[in-house]
Amino acid sequence: MTRRQMLARSAAVFAGGVLLKEVGEAQGAPPPPSAGNQRPGADAINRHLPVHTPNVENLPWKIVDGVKVFHLIAEPVRHELAPGLRVDGWGYNGRVHGPTIEAVEGDRVRIYVTNRLPEPTSVHWHGILLPNGMDGVAGLNQRPIPPGETYRYEFTLRQHGTHMYHPHFDEMTQMAMGMMGLFIIHPRDSRAYRVDQDFALLLSEWKIQVGTSRPDPGEMVDFNILTMNGRAFPGTEPLLVRQGEKVRIRLVNLSAMSHHPIHLHGYKFLVTATDGGKIPPSAQWPETTVLVPVGSSRDIEFNADEPGDWALHCHMTHHLMNQMGHDIPNMIGMDPSGLDEKIQRFLPGYMTMGHTGMGGMGTMGMPVPRNSIPMLGGEGPFGHIDMAGMFTIVKVHPTRPAPDDWYEHPPGTVAEPAPEQDLRRDGIKTG
Ligand SMILES: [Cu+2]
């Protein structure tokens, strides 16, 4: 390396370090790897905007003789899916889902995997180009990792993009229990891919019988908790953006059975990449909803020029409910008069619900069994938000918002009761 290259590199590292700090603080993200983990010339990641995985931490790493070394620990984890709902799942490094692995194209990575589960496991690096013996399909590419043992994976990253990792041993059980994570590879030369905010959301689905804490791996159809980064709304951390920033959101789906059409309000965006790589600019297409099939990723990008608190959610309405929205009888249009009194003789306090629709059920304070959550919602600036599950909020504010901030609308820009004189002027009859 020439002296000039060295100077340029340390300048880039310094600038990257400042950026990392600013983003980390603004997003409430964990601190970047400690200075002790970094060697001049080896920590190429600092020259890239770090990816932010809401509700999830990044996996720490260190450089040993030029190789980026990680340690994943597969183990049982108690995890909160949403306020009031905890599960006894399986994850990595004390987390469900696992921490995000972040690296740079060209990195040599060595990933130790320790198995603290009661059964064997393996890790498949989904979408990553690597030698066949590192691909992680137990029985096909390697022996399964027995409980108590640590295996070593090592390969050089030949590509960049949005990828994932998950077991390929008893995957139906292990993925249903929460075992999955993101593997983000930044381009070596990031100039053509610059954004100001880089988010990643891992989509998954669960069956948690009401009142229990064990995910049910046997479920094939009726999932009742839908999550982004292992959290269901109102437990999802919002995406915080300053107005005018260019934003990338990496959407990754490792659900058991469901493809998710993810819809962003307030914007049209470009689909810029899949887990197969970048889409050339001439082939990128505009969308407001992008379907993310199981086992795929889609990167979307947009300029956040319109301020507000914008919904980002799966458009399948049954993926916007939590547990108690499932398996309920259809009462819409029924006349409950007389019924309530009869049932109250046996069940004091009984009240028929749902005969006028189900809006606002989240606010009725219906008692729910221990360790379970109501079907709908969280609190917003205008009252109850009647959505849950695979739902989060992109907060685009004139100055970078805090998680609890709500957009302050300019006067006259919020829908409100129509004034009488307007109705008269415009000839609208409401009777
Ligand atoms: Cu969905």
* CA 38 to ligand 1 center in whole angstroms: 40
Q: CA 45 to CA 128: how far, in whole Å?
A: 18
- What's the pLDDT at 290? 98
Q: Which of 18-27, 159-168, 379-388 has the highest mean pLDDT?
A: 159-168
pTM of the entire predicted model: 0.83
**Alpha-carbon torsion, ordered 278, 282, 288, 294, to 10 deg:** -30
> What distance in angstroms lies between residue 261's CA and the mean position of ligand 1's atoms?
6
Give Cβ neighbours of residue 7 (< 8 Å, ≥ 6 apart).
Answer: none
Query: Which tokens hold the place of 129?
Result: 């180009």
- What is the distance in A from the centroid of ligand 1 to the CA of 400? 29
Give the pLDDT confidence of 298-341 residue by residue, as tens digits: 999 999 999 999 999 999 988 888 776 556 666 667 777 777 77
Report cis status (omega within 30 of 0) of the bond before 97. Answer: yes
Distance from the alpha carbon of residue 62 to the mean position of ligand 1, in angstroms: 37
Confidence check: pLDDT of 219 > 60 = yes
203 CA from centroid of ligand 1 (Å): 8
**Which element (helix H / strand E) includes 163?**
strand 161-166
> Could you tell me the distance, in angstroms and rounded to a whole number, from the CA of residue 391 to the centre of ligand 1?
10
What separation in Å is there between the alpha carbon of 390 and the centre of ligand 1? Answer: 7
Mean pLDDT of 114-134: 98
- The alpha carbon of 42 and the centre of ligand 1 are apart by a number of angstroms equal to 40
